[in-house]
Amino acid sequence: AIRKAEPYKIKMVEPIKLIPRKERDKKIKEVGYNQFALKAEDIYIDLLTDSGTGAMSDYQWAGIMMGDESYAGSRNYYNLEKSVQDIIGYKYFVPTHQGRGAENVLFPIMIKEKGQYVLSNMHFDTTKAHVELKGGRAVNLVIEEAFDTETEHPFKGNFDLGKLEGFIKEKGVENCAFIIVTITCNSVGGQPVSMENIKGVKKIADQYGLKVIFDAARFAENAYFIKKREVGYENKQIVDIIREMFSYGDGLTMSAKKDGIVNMGGMIAIKEDEELYTISRSMVVPIEGFPTYGGLTGRDMEALARGLREVVEEDYLESRIGQIEYLGQRLIDAGIPIQRPVGGHAVFVDCKKFCPQIPYNQFPAQAVCVELYKEAGVRAVEIGSFLLGRDPETGEQLESPMELLRLTIPRRVYTYNHMDVVADALIEIWKKRETLKGFEFTYEPEVLRHFTAKLKPI
């Protein structure tokens, strides 16, 4: 078979620039060694997130010109409804401005009493925050293998089904609100959840009368992994796998900024529960907007209606995941410890192993992050103890089970050459890893500190 290149060609370019090393050293120092505070124009290759950073197609841009900005009943709403029904297979949907907008509307409806548990393989940070703001308690029940970067497991995003059922039995089903299946599981490395595991979750949910809600940000990437790694799915169409996955749930919240391939957008979708839909539809009005736009313009909805159809194309997914595998393999070949196998949207470097001399409370992954910017103008993001924060009661720094540096790849934006720049830079840092030092705070805000904190090297 011939080697395949990207299934698209470049029609428009956006210049990027590598500023000199001296300036990079100065800029990162000026912002207190916090990459969130850098100006984007001072970054050469931006791997902060895959959220809202994708490149839209000519077909999506053409759709933007067809935006119908009517306050109610925009034609783009109906086009999006058709995409949702065709691809996700759910009857009802409500647009929202992004994923957390959907969580903000749906979760208070689902959490009936203060203190109820919300059970997930792993909550994303904003998802956990919304559960807690609504009076719920977020519980993560992902399999143990997820926390060992060296153990090869095809579905590290899976629920530990024994723990899930054990938890419900121990705490009592009346104290549980609902189940969230995060596909793919971002926080442990963009790791997929198998169809078998999703079915297992559904079986337990049915037994106890709990609803299953997907956090569907990277649903197409999850389906691609099922096709590649799960017996019985190798010859199925991606869209059929997606529909089967979602058939085991009652609804979803989606950040469409990932697999919707749009710069802004989200939704709630409901399989068939008319009552849940009706409440969501009325609650969206004061929070996000009228139900036929929910915080989105007509043109945004059209771009999303089209993005959902593009993301399920197998050539696209093969190229997308292939690029991440390529970057991961280059790092593995150099001996750099990463979460294995690589996930769907990012390579996660295991910085506990990268620089074991730096303790968790001096933020090893942040140290590698800062060095990567200095080395090559690449912006990555720390997912470890810096992000985790302090115990709200004792004020003590919490120790994250993993200290990860996430190299998050935007969709259809960078080429293999960019991946090589990132790999070469990290390999250089790897060679001098013993010289890396930890960080301490010079300014530490109380809430979501990692976005605005300032640090200095120790």
For ligand F0G, the binding residues (CB under 6 A) are: 49, 51, 98-100, 124, 126-127, 182, 186, 215, 217, 255, 257, 266
Give the Cα separation of 253 and 131 in Å (integer): 13
Which residue lies nearer to ligand F0G by CB, 182 or 194?
Answer: 182
Least distance CB 265 / ligand F0G (angstroms)? 8
**Nearest residue (beta carbon) to ligand F0G:** 99
- Give the three-state DSSP class for 117: strand
Neighbouring residues of 431: CB distance < 8 A, sequence distance ≥ 6: none
Phi-psi region of 48 (alpha: psi -120 to 50; beta: other; left: phi over 0): alpha
Q: What six digits make up the tokens of 23?
A: 């300036």
Least distance CB 103 / ligand F0G (angstroms)? 7
Q: What six digits make up the tokens of 373?
A: 């910017």
Burial class for 297, CB neighbours closer than 10 Å (0-12, 13-18, 19+): middle
Query: 71, 147, 416, 451: which one is catalytic?
Result: 71
Which residue lies nearer to ligand F0G by CB, 266 or 307?
Answer: 266
Which residue lies nearer to ligand F0G by CB, 97 or 433?
Answer: 97
Annotation marks residue 124 as catalytic: yes
Query: 130, 258, 374, 418: which one is catalytic?
Result: 258
Least distance CB 406 / ligand F0G (angstroms)? 8
Query: 146, 216, 217, 223: which one is catalytic?
Result: 217
Q: What six digits make up the tokens of 21?
A: 């090393």
Neighbouring residues of 182: CB distance < 8 A, sequence distance ≥ 6: 120, 121, 122, 123, 124, 127, 157, 193, 214, 215, 217
Burial class for 375, CB neighbours closer than 10 Å (0-12, 13-18, 19+): buried
- Between 416-431 and 364-376, two packed helices, what is the crossing angle to 10 degrees? 120
Which residue lies nearer to ligand F0G by CB, 79 or 98?
Answer: 98
In DSSP notation, 377-446 reads: SEE-EEESHHHH-B-TTT-PBPPPS--EEEEE--TT---HHHHHHHHHHHHHHHHTGGG---EEEEE--S
Least distance CB 425 / ligand F0G (angstroms)? 21
| Nearest of 129, 144, 134 to residue 110 by alpha carbon | 134
Annotation marks residue 86 as catalytic: no
Give the Cα separation of 243 and 223 in Å (integer): 9
Annotation marks residue 125 as catalytic: yes
Query: 215, 250, 300, 350: which one is catalytic?
Result: 215
Which residue lies nearer to ligand F0G by CB, 107 or 248?
Answer: 107
Annotation marks residue 420 as catalytic: no
Annotation marks residue 269 as catalytic: no
Annotation marks residue 217 as catalytic: yes
Q: What six digits make up the tokens of 79?
A: 């086009």
Backbone angles phi, psi at 182, to 5 degrees: -90, 115
Which residue lies nearer to ligand F0G by CB, 84 or 436?
Answer: 84
Which residue lies nearer to ligand F0G by CB, 99 or 364?
Answer: 99
Query: 33, 124, 219, 233: which one is catalytic?
Result: 124
Which residue lies nearer to ligand F0G by CB, 264 or 331?
Answer: 264
- Between 75-83 and 298-311, two packed helices, what is the crossing angle to 10 degrees? 20
Least distance CB 8 / ligand F0G (angstroms)? 23
DSSP 46: E
* Contact assessment for residue 94 and residue 281, using Cβ atoms and an 8 Å cutoff: yes
Give the Cα separation of 186 and 188 in Å (integer): 6
Least distance CB 142 / ligand F0G (angstroms)? 13
Least distance CB 95 / ligand F0G (angstroms)? 12
Least distance CB 380 / ligand F0G (angstroms)? 11
Positions marked active-site: 71, 124-125, 215, 217, 258, 450
